[in-house]
Structure 1
Amino acid sequence: MLNIKKYAAIDIGSNAVRLLISNIIEMNGEPVQFKKSSLVRVPIRLGEDVFVNGIISKENKARMLDTMSAFKLLMKSHKVLKYKACATSAMREAENGKELVDLIYKETGVNIDIIDGQEEATIIAATDLKDFIKLDKTYLYVDVGGGSTEFSVIHQGEKVDSKSFKIGTVRLLKDIVKNEAWKELEEWINLKTKNYSNLEVIGSGGNINKIFKLSGKAQSKPLTYFYLTSYYKMLQSYSYEERIYKLDLNQDRADVIIPACRIYLSAMKWSGAKSIYVPKIGLSDGIIKSIYHNKVSSQLKID
């Protein structure tokens, strides 16, 4: 017997806010399937407020309210049964983050959980990484966000270590990442990967997904360190305007893609990885699967 239901994930990041709606397809005697039904991305960029001024601006508070109202209606239209909304780095650090969460719940009924970096890494690890990794290899999983980057070491199919660092694309754009933070990251990667040979990197995030798509590579093939270095240098040779007009990048992607490349390349260099795999997974996918497997709390549909 076939059973199809819809779950939703809301990912409130430092660069953008996303709503992912997925079909959960169950068939007797068969593995459950997760199929994306709809994905909406709104580039509010909360991090520009928070990482510089410490609070979310009045304008972005209003945009968040409008966005959550729209997401509520979309979930209702799709007949979503369960959802979970997670806010990450920017909302964690905003002085008025909790105040905005309460306001959104009061005005829209959408309940938002502000999660820490460790929980974020755990949810991301709940994605179907097993479909992309080989049990005889070791990987450094790197999820680059606007405010932070989550790192996980995966050995023989199991996560053996993970940590969140306050090094993200929006922070780097604002030049507020200190050299000490980079040194701490380098030392952590060196320490956690030194005992593994032939390590490879798995990258997730909108920027590496965009780079991979433009490369024309087959999904099962990785990008090499040489390719990513060349692409990074090419991006730097263009102005912001040229990256939008000539490279066909969205305006909210054309600036953050350069610091994102820097983070991925640094992770590859310090871990000794020669290639990076780019499966299309991230926090939203992890939320959906965590809801299904009852690994996180979730909310019932909004009437």
Structure 2
Amino acid sequence: MTEQRIGIIDIGSNSVRLVVYERTAGGANRVIDGSKRAARLSEHVDENGALPEGTVDELVDMVNHFRLICAHHKTGMIRAVATAAIRNSANRDRVLRRIEAETGLPIELISGEQEAGYGFLGMINTMPVRDGFLIDIGGGSTEVSLFKDRSLVQAVSFPFGCVSLTRQYAKNGMLSDQSLKELEQHVEQAVARHSWLKQASGQPLVGVGGTVRSLGKMHQAYVKYPFESTHNYPIAGDAAGELFELLRKLPIGKRKNFPGLSKDRVDIIVPGLAILRTIFRAVGASHYVICGAGLRDGLFYSTRFPDKPRLDDVVSYSVNNLAALHPEAPLQHTSQVNRLALQLAELLCPRLADAGSAKLYLDIASTLHRIGASIDYYDYKKHTFYLMINSRLNGLSHRELLICSLIASYKSKNRVKQTAVLYKPLLTEDDIALVALLGMLLQLAIALDRSETQAIGRLEAEAADGALHLRAVRANGALAIERKEVDALAGDFKKLWGLSPVLYAPDLR
């Protein structure tokens, strides 16, 4: 299969962005390029509500620049969409005609409800949440959606965003007490017109878009969080409120040095967070969750999988996609290790406090344990750990991602303890003990196919009399390599599980 590439151009009110997705020969999807240009379209609207010609000139240049990047990548398709700033401009038809005529690209002008729908799709395909609210604060509009059982129930698009409300209420990016009160009343009145927003309190408010991602980055820097990803990062309402007040009081000159805040958001971040907090309170949300995906991801899924864009199982899709990105790992061997690890888990994991989670972690770790060999075989465990924690494995919390990565790269319990120190306080002593148990189980599964020939067709396993009896009912050959490997790790296995594994020579008659 040849590689296929899709370019997504998002003409937003605050910025214009490009993402180029590739489908590899192995069937995996990945981002291979991305670019962003600050546009502040909502800021440039004149007194008649129109976008000036000079602004449209700049916009045409940006879109042409992105089109050339797509041409360089030989994209088979470019999908360009425009959102609130153009949607709300008095001269939108002329703006769209000019962009299309001067770039050769058809531009989809999407409605607020469509924008909410694509944002929801991007979020739900990358997060493990079932119920809640979704918010996307753009430059010129704010979409709020309610979802239940992973399905979109209702959505609304409000005609205000961080750029338009900065222009209206925040002089030079500073929001006074009086201006804050007026901004909050403006947002509250808009929310009050939609009664359904007040009928599902106690749910998380999941946020997509630049304002919310900035909140996540700033909060992580503020609390010295040990993990770099903001995707699927929870923040308590009080903690976000504290950060908001801290930022609001900072003069612009000092605010631009705030860790985690990008320079192009210095003046619009406080009004953006004011919108977020007001809606958080209005819907009675339990806490915030940052989502690193959004509109562009939703557009990708709807383009790549038009018949069934919503994923049934976020974790499985993400794990299989990451495995397919590293085809150097021998598929038959990793499949055999995965099969044997899950069989051993069925026997031994009922001894653990949460057998269901343990089996899931082992399933993920055994599928991905060899991906590090794509960098260097001799130190593949170290590289597997690095690749897993730096690849967005969707559907897992940061703690779960760390646990799976540590199981996949397991060498010894001491090594796990050394790594865990770097990630305090994400991992508990119980987590470290679980990693050691499951890591050892994975090592046993690897030993049972050490020859990488899938010699064991069927295995019978039984725990009795202090031993883990392993009998190959169907096997090719005498399993000499596998038996030696099992014997070599028997001592370490017994220390953790209280059982000595013994692999019996198969009956070759």
TM-score category by the smaller chain?
A: 0.7 to 0.9
**Pick aligned residue for 2:143 from 122, 146, 150:** 150
1:197 Cα deviation from its structure 2 partner: 5.1
TM-score norm. by structure 2 comes to 0.53
Give secondary structure in 2 for the equivalent of 1:126.
helix
1:220 Cα deviation from its structure 2 partner: 3.7
The question of 1:277 aligning with 2:260 is answered no
Give secondary structure in 2 for the equivalent of 1:150.
strand
Q: Between Structure 1 and Structure 2, whose CA radius of gyration is higher?
A: 2
Contact kept, 8 Å, 1:127 with 1:281, in 2: the verdict is yes
Runs of 4 or more above 6 Å deviation:
none
Contact kept, 8 Å, 1:166 with 1:181, in 2: the verdict is no
Give secondary structure in 2 for the equivalent of 1:40.
strand
2:113, 2:46 → 1: CA distance?
Answer: 20
Between the two structures, name the one with larger relative contact order (CA 8 Å, sep ≥ 6).
Answer: 1
Give secondary structure in 1 for the equivalent of 2:81.
strand
**Pick aligned residue for 2:247 from 235, 239, 253:** 235
2:190 maps to 184
Contact kept, 8 Å, 1:7 with 1:21, in 2: the verdict is yes
Distance of aligned partners of 1:67 and 1:236 in 2 relative to their CA distance in 1, 3 Å threshold: same
2:187, 2:262 → 1: CA distance?
Answer: 29
Give secondary structure in 2 for the equivalent of 1:72.
helix
Q: How does 1:167-246 map to 2 (within 5 A)?
A: 167-175=160-168, 179=185, 182-188=188-194, 191-194=196-199, 196=200, 198-216=202-220, 217=225, 218=227, 219-246=231-258
1:300 maps to none
The percent of aligned pairs where both chains have the same amino acid is 25
Q: Which amino acid aligns with 2:63?
A: M
Contact kept, 8 Å, 2:201 with 2:285, in 1: the verdict is no
Contact kept, 8 Å, 1:18 with 1:41, in 2: the verdict is yes
1:169, 1:81 → 2: CA distance?
Answer: 34
2:46, 2:288 → 1: CA distance?
Answer: 29
1:221 Cα deviation from its structure 2 partner: 3.5
| 1:219-251 alpha-carbon deviations (Å, 9 max, x no partner) | 443011011101100111111222224547444
Give secondary structure in 2 for the equivalent of 1:214.
helix
1:192 Cα deviation from its structure 2 partner: 3.3
1:55 Cα deviation from its structure 2 partner: 1.3
Contact kept, 8 Å, 2:234 with 2:287, in 1: the verdict is yes
**Pick aligned residue for 2:300 from 251, 270, 288:** 288
Give secondary structure in 1 for the equivalent of 2:43.
helix
Q: Which amino acid aligns with 2:60?
A: L
2:275 maps to 263
| 1:113-162 alpha-carbon deviations (Å, 9 max, x no partner) | 11111111122222151441333xx2100011011111110111111111
Greater shift, 4-13 or 210-219, is seen at 210-219
The question of 1:54 aligning with 2:38 is answered no
1:198 Cα deviation from its structure 2 partner: 3.0
1:50 Cα deviation from its structure 2 partner: 2.2
1:253 maps to 265
Contact kept, 8 Å, 2:218 with 2:258, in 1: the verdict is no
1:298 maps to none
Q: As a proportion of its length, which structure holds more helix?
A: 2
Unaligned ranges ≥5, structure 1: 296-303
The question of 1:102 aligning with 2:106 is answered no
1:277 Cα deviation from its structure 2 partner: 0.8
1:299 maps to none
Q: Which amino acid aligns with 1:50?
A: V
Contact kept, 8 Å, 2:80 with 2:108, in 1: the verdict is yes
1:134, 1:246 → 2: CA distance?
Answer: 31
2:293, 2:211 → 1: CA distance?
Answer: 12
Distance of aligned partners of 1:66 and 1:246 in 2 relative to their CA distance in 1, 3 Å threshold: same
1:6 maps to 5
Number of matched pairs:
286
The question of 1:120 aligning with 2:115 is answered yes
Distance of aligned partners of 1:247 and 1:241 in 2 relative to their CA distance in 1, 3 Å threshold: farther
Q: Which amino acid aligns with 1:153?
A: L
